[in-house]
Amino acid sequence: MIQPFITGLIEVALWSAIFTSTGLMSMNGFPRESYLAYALWAAFFSRIGSNWMYEFRMIDEIETGSVNSVLARPISFYEYYLGQFMGYKLITSVLSLIAPILIVAVISGPTKLERLPLAFSLVMYYLIFVHTMSFIVASFAFYFNRVSSFTMAKNIGLWMLSGELFPLDLAPEPFRGWLLAMPFCNAVYRPVGYLTGRLEIGSIVDGFVSSTLGLVVIAPIAVMIWKGGRRRYAGTGA
């Protein structure tokens, strides 16, 4: 609960300073309040769209050999952790919604709360893509002794491309085009942009399409790495 409050506070301070020190009334066509609301919601959505805990657990299962107990069940390792991950994210997200809603109400930031269900749905769909990425990283534990740094590299990369640091429409071309074409902006930029009125519904549709395309690309890679890893695995821990 405290995390999004502090993150939001820092981002609001930064954006306030930018507008105060420059005397600008708007940037890239959007007013100060729009940026404040974006910063707050971005801090909230960014937490939903990342996977640390379950990825570390998946890696640990493979490294220690306790993955055997999952393999013996009538459910795949992928599905077993997908179910846990999605359930955890759903519950914690709903519970922590109170923080951004309260702060946005205090600063009178532009937020179209009726858009929240669709924005939230996009992030939840994107989480399948995130989980598949985690599955790939965890599968590397069959091949290497230590893969926790892979998790760090992947998550920081995703965070950088998600749009939490700044609204991606501020990025110069051609980076802006590249960032928006990839599925990673479905974690923060697209849902928050839609929620705060920067973007319209077409962008959400694009988000579902890019997440699907992302899945189509990485799913075969995930299957290949997992199957290759299983062939090497001796059942006593990687």
Question: Tokens 């299962």, residue?
Answer: 61
Which position among 159, 212, 221, 230 is part of the footprint of another protein (CB under 8 A)?
159
Per CB under 8 A, 172 contacts another protein: yes
Instruction: Please count the residues of this chain forming the interface with another protein, following the rule CB under 8 A.
Output: 34
Per CB under 8 A, 150 contacts another protein: yes
User: Could you give the C-alpha distances from 232 to 75, 145, 226, in angstroms and in order?
Assistant: 21, 13, 10
The tokens describing 179, both together, are: 């960032």
Strand partners, 26: 31
Of 120 and 134, the one with the shorter C-beta distance to another protein is 134
CB of 130 to another protein, least distance (A): 17
CB of 140 to another protein, least distance (A): 10
- What are the residues whose beta carbons fall under 8 Å from the beta carbon of 15, sequence distance 6 or more? 32, 35, 36, 39
Of 162 and 211, the one with the shorter C-beta distance to another protein is 162
Per CB under 8 A, 236 contacts another protein: no
Per CB under 8 A, 69 contacts another protein: no
Contact 206, 121 (CB under 8 A): no
- Give kind and range of the element (H or E) at residue 26: strand 26-27
Which position among 74, 145, 174, 231 is part of the footprint of another protein (CB under 8 A)?
145
Contact 206, 181 (CB under 8 A): no
Q: What is the DSSP letter of 236?
A: S
**In whole angstroms, what is the distance from residue 199 CA to residue 125 CA?**
18
**In whole angstroms, what is the distance from residue 232 CA to residue 212 CA?**
30
Per CB under 8 A, 3 contacts another protein: yes
Which position among 28, 76, 92, 108 is part of the footprint of another protein (CB under 8 A)?
28
Q: At what angle do helices 116-139 and 148-162 cross, to 10 degrees?
A: 150
Which position among 157, 177, 228, 235 is part of the footprint of another protein (CB under 8 A)?
157
Stretch that binds another protein, among 21-29, 67-75, 108-116, 189-197 (CB under 8 A): 21-29
**In whole angstroms, what is the distance from residue 110 CA to residue 137 CA?**
38
Nearest to 130 by CA among 95, 82, 90, 67: 82
Which position among 91, 95, 102, 152 is part of the footprint of another protein (CB under 8 A)?
152
Per CB under 8 A, 173 contacts another protein: no
Per CB under 8 A, 149 contacts another protein: yes
Which position among 56, 125, 166, 208 is part of the footprint of another protein (CB under 8 A)?
166
Give the residues lining the site for another protein (CB under 8 A): 2-3, 6-7, 9-10, 13-14, 16-18, 20-22, 24, 27-28, 144-146, 148-150, 152-153, 156-157, 159-160, 165-166, 170-172
